[in-house]
Structure 1
Amino acid sequence: MSNHQPLSGHISSGGPLLELSLGKFKNVLLNETIPAEAVLRNIDSNVTVIIFQIHTHHKNVTISFDKKPSSNNSGAGTDQGLVSILRPQQTVCTWYLQAVGADQVLSTAVSFSYAERDPIPGGCNMEFNLEIDPNIYLEYNLAETHIKFAPANLGYVRGTNPPLCDLGSSSRWRLSYEVYQYFLPENDLSEASFVSHMRKMSEVQSIRRHGTKMMTLVNQDKTDLYFSSLPGQGVIYNVIVKDPLWNTSAAYVPAHTYMCSLSGSVDNCSSLKRLSTKIFFTVLAVLGLFICFHGHRFWKTDLFFMGFIFTAFFFFITISRTSALSYDVNLGLTAVAGVLGGLLLVAYWWRFGFVILCMLIVGLVLGFLVASTVFFTPIGDYKVFQDDAVFWVTFCCIALIVPILFVGYPRVLNILTCGIIGSYTIVLATACYLYTSLSYISIDLLRRILDENFKRAFTNVPFQRNDIILLAVWAMLAIGGITIQLRREKREAPFPPHPYLIWRRERERRITNILDPSHHVPPLKERIHSKLSQIKDFFQKEQPAGERTPLLL
């Protein structure tokens, strides 16, 4: 198959006609029955390559060089492009567009030109069907998004043979690839928003101005990459290939995803948050808000809350890795295990009253959040942390340093944990109803534990208006809760007295002090027997009044 266009500018009248101008976006309504023709005229002689691309919100379209598409002259998808290598004297290019499996599909089309010194995206394709493939192929699951693209080739003059792809340093191996990521507005799945933002990620200068550069690939680097998935959040990816010798660049065809289905009836973008998740984290947030401001004063409730989080976290990891139960069942069992863990921690305190172990649990809860926050920043994308040993040693050191730093100030540690962890539950509860990147502080940690391949993913997330507002709320709640508790507990004892010792003293006092009214209280067994007798008498039939024996004769 050849990507060369015919010299003729003849346009068939069989379908809608779309007249293109270089760099100008045009909307076109496609249907499944009659292909539309897109034509670009009056191409300058210094142009050697035209990249034509078309984008739709979520419905597939076919783009091809011929009216009858085949596997090696066409592509189908939501973001598709074709490279036309121009012949000498050629001034017109034609492409054919058609909807796939839909009556009407609104799409946006554009074409860009490149000269003989500009690299050709996908020019050294050896994996995909097209001879020259400028497309970025995208796959995703709930944990990670995978993109891959064909290597580029050097540009060349019209009518000459393309450079070979397997030569030494003078060939395409000198090219470098800049990978860019662009986030659409949060909680906005509209088609209008998609179209306006896609235009920002199609041309080289605009990509560099608006996109976030994630990395640069050189030489033997693989042209397939992994990013963390953010279901419900629109993301656009694109790649700029650069020739350092001529200082020229060209852009691939951008690809976008919401990491969920916009048209599916099950598990679509509108129903990502499960009811069980909403119930779980809403209840947790109510308790967390109370702990944020009153945790240290209500010490047993505080211990229950921390024990719940600690136990639920590890139980969810264990059951997710070892069982094939559904998510809802896992979450329900996690809630039960968390309640038991919280009660056990309270029972431990009641019986033994050992503050240090309780503070170790409390400190680890805060330490895990601090460590997760550190790796949530760009630090987490350093290549060294793709090694599991390096990552987990660093993570554990950060998590352990929190309780170690406050070993001499257990009350301060507890109040800090109450304020920070309690207020963070508000963030998690909000994420059940409204997208926020802050929830991925904890989600990415779970992904790293549960998915062995997640270590290769870049974990960049958007930080937009909702995140700024929620971060401010989190900070204000945490600071407010910590300040109130520190001032209120300033003149109080650091921790309540040992409950078991108090109970034993009271028990001994009641036994030895006969003047104590409680000393004369019957044992529990006798009191229960007395109550049961009263209940039994209540249900007995009352005897009639009067003489109950025969009269004496």
Structure 2
Amino acid sequence: MQNILFRLGFLACFCSSAFSGVTYPPITIDLQNKPPGHQITEFRTLTILIDTRIDVININAGVGFFLIQVHSYMGNITLSDDSDAQISGTNIGLIWKGNSENVAHFYLFRDHLALLDNITMLIAVSTYSKYDPVPGGCNLSFETEIAPYQKISESDDFITVISQPPSQFGNFCNRSNIVTRMYYLYLSEHDNSTEQYFANIQKMISVDDIVKYGTLVLEGLTANRFKQMYSRYAGTGRVFAAVSTRLGRSAAYVPAVSYGCDVAAWDADCSGPGKDIFSFISGLAFALLWLFLWRKFGIPVVAVQLAFLLNGLLVASILFYSQLGDIYIFANDATFWTCFVCLLIVTQKPFGCLTSLFYIIALSLVGSYAVIFAVNYYVGGNLPYILLNTYRRITVANFGSAVIAPPYQTMDICQTGLWVLIFCIGVYVQTRSSMGRPPFPPRRADRARARVDENTPLIEPNQEMPPAYFEAVYS
């Protein structure tokens, strides 16, 4: 019934364009001399009433099936065929299986809420033989019988990519000899242009290009490969792809794209890892509390341990921010936190000797990162996720199953260079300024009591003698 209404809608649009004197010729894709393993991509800019037909003609007799996919930018479209199959979205596709005819017809609709806007689409057709695995052929929950596309859902911390298992040609759901691997490709950071969008999708359509340009997701993070979670990096687009292989023959799913945010509200939702006033207030309160404790009690041991603790936390977070965090053994929380705490302790051991020098190093490392964190608020970048991913691991359930794999692009490289520069300057300046001085200054209260003037007696009868090391330290 749904498909009948869909066809009636298409017929109504066609009649409307006919009576208005405007015609919309079908899009023709010619597969002549295109045996299995070939791919054809076309850019089409369709305006106003774009509801139209796609004709795939001259299908080679050796083609067991082909995958037609359509990609649009910021506008849902619907793709249907002569059967009951139809799917809506921005990255969609359908499978056509061979029959006695060498022509296939598809119908393309768009969201008519934005009818007057132009819309750019990328149409691609990939041909396969009957010996290749069928992407999404063992569909369990999606709308169409065969589901070669992927669906994306987003939360504040995750991007979840869901796909359906492949099958052998002929709807055999025996997947024991079919291996599916997931890939991803980052777009340029904070670039939501249509050129970047379509250029990177084109890199993730064919199997060869996916392997060439994509990054392979390591296995073992999750038991269900067809529900893969990724850490969310707002404002950095990512193309997700999947490749199924059987007996050395491979087929690719329809790639899907996510920016980790609402592209329609780019400035408000995609400008950084989060700008919560609560974070500012809590950080300021903690800083004021720590300043009060130091001025009141002035115990160097406490200040030193805090600096070393923050330094160890940052170093351990940096290590797990890299590819180390995507190794499957660290998906287990017990293993992860055991190793994390061990790294935190190990990074503090060298600070037992030469406490003053290493205290300066620890403060410079943490302080320079804090500067980069603040700069990121205005210019963008992904280095704040070094600590944010650790925070997510603490607070978000099942975050250990997510692919961390952070983007490291031009802005991140520049900020890393600035981080190193500030760190080196901090170590140099503090080392020079502390030469000839005690490693840790006395409390202000002690200095106030020790301050003398012209009325202070030279010798007080009840004055306690200073300890033996006093002259050596404070002379």
Q: Which residue of 1 aligns with 2:216?
A: 213
Per-residue deviation, 1:498:
4.2
1:177 is paired with a residue whose SS is strand
Are positions 1:136 and 2:84 aligned together? no
1:223-372 aligned at under 5 Å gives the runs: 223-243=226-246, 245=247, 247-264=248-265, 267-269=268-270, 277=275, 327-328=276-277, 330-348=278-296, 351=297, 353-372=298-317
In 1: Cα distance, 2:311 partner to 2:48 partner: 56
Amino acid paired to 2:101 = Q
Which of 122, 135, 152 is residue 136 of structure 2 equivalent to? Answer: 122
In 1: Cα distance, 2:273 partner to 2:228 partner: 27
Q: Which residue of 2 aligns with 1:196?
A: 199
Q: Which has the higher helix share?
A: 1
1:39 is paired with a residue whose SS is strand
Amino acid paired to 2:92 = Q
String of CA shifts for 1:88-144, please: whole Å, max 9, x gaps.
x32112111111132132111010000111110011111111000101111111201
Give yes or no for contact 1:125–1:150 (8 Å, CA) kept in 2: yes
Q: Which residue of 1 aligns with 2:463?
A: none
1:432 is paired with a residue whose SS is helix
Amino acid paired to 2:259 = Y
Amino acid paired to 1:223 = F
Any stretches of 5+ residues in structure 1 without a counterpart? 2-11, 156-161, 166-170, 278-326, 516-553
Amino acid paired to 1:253 = V
Cα distance, 1:254–1:265 mapped onto 2, change above 3 Å: closer
Amino acid paired to 2:195 = A
String of CA shifts for 1:271-300, please: whole Å, max 9, x gaps.
5577xx4xxxxxxxxxxxxxxxxxxxxxxx
Give the aligned CA root-mean-square deviation in angstroms.
2.8
In 1: Cα distance, 2:132 partner to 2:97 partner: 13
Cα distance, 1:265–1:383 mapped onto 2, change above 3 Å: closer
Per-residue deviation, 1:391:
1.7
Give yes or no for contact 1:175–1:219 (8 Å, CA) kept in 2: no
1:24 is paired with a residue whose SS is strand
Are positions 1:74 and 2:77 aligned together? no
Aligned residue pairs total: 432
Q: Which residue of 1 aligns with 2:372?
A: 427
Are positions 1:52 and 2:52 aligned together? no
Cα distance, 1:514–1:411 mapped onto 2, change above 3 Å: closer
Q: Which residue of 2 aligns with 1:412?
A: 357
In 2: Cα distance, 1:336 partner to 1:144 partner: 28
In 1: Cα distance, 2:66 partner to 2:220 partner: 24
**Which of structures 1 and 2 has the bigger CA Rg?**
1
- Give the alignment's TM-score, normalised by structure 2: 0.84
Are positions 1:377 and 2:388 aligned together? no
In 2: Cα distance, 1:389 partner to 1:217 partner: 16
Q: Which residue of 2 aligns with 1:539?
A: none
Which of 92, 109, 130 is residue 103 of structure 2 equivalent to? Answer: 92
1:81 is paired with a residue whose SS is strand
In 1: Cα distance, 2:447 partner to 2:281 partner: 35
String of CA shifts for 1:386-417, please: whole Å, max 9, x gaps.
22222222222222333332122221122112
2:139 is paired with a residue whose SS is coil
Per-residue deviation, 1:507:
7.6
Per-residue deviation, 1:50:
0.8
Give yes or no for contact 1:386–1:455 (8 Å, CA) kept in 2: yes
Which of 24, 28, 38 is residue 19 of structure 1 equivalent to? Answer: 28
2:195 is paired with a residue whose SS is helix
Are positions 1:151 and 2:165 aligned together? yes
Q: Which residue of 2 aligns with 1:63?
A: 79
In 1: Cα distance, 2:195 partner to 2:222 partner: 39
Of 358-367 and 441-450, more deviation after overlay is shown by: 441-450
Amino acid paired to 1:262 = V
Cα distance, 1:439–1:126 mapped onto 2, change above 3 Å: same
Identity of aligned residues (%): 27
In 2: Cα distance, 1:442 partner to 1:118 partner: 44
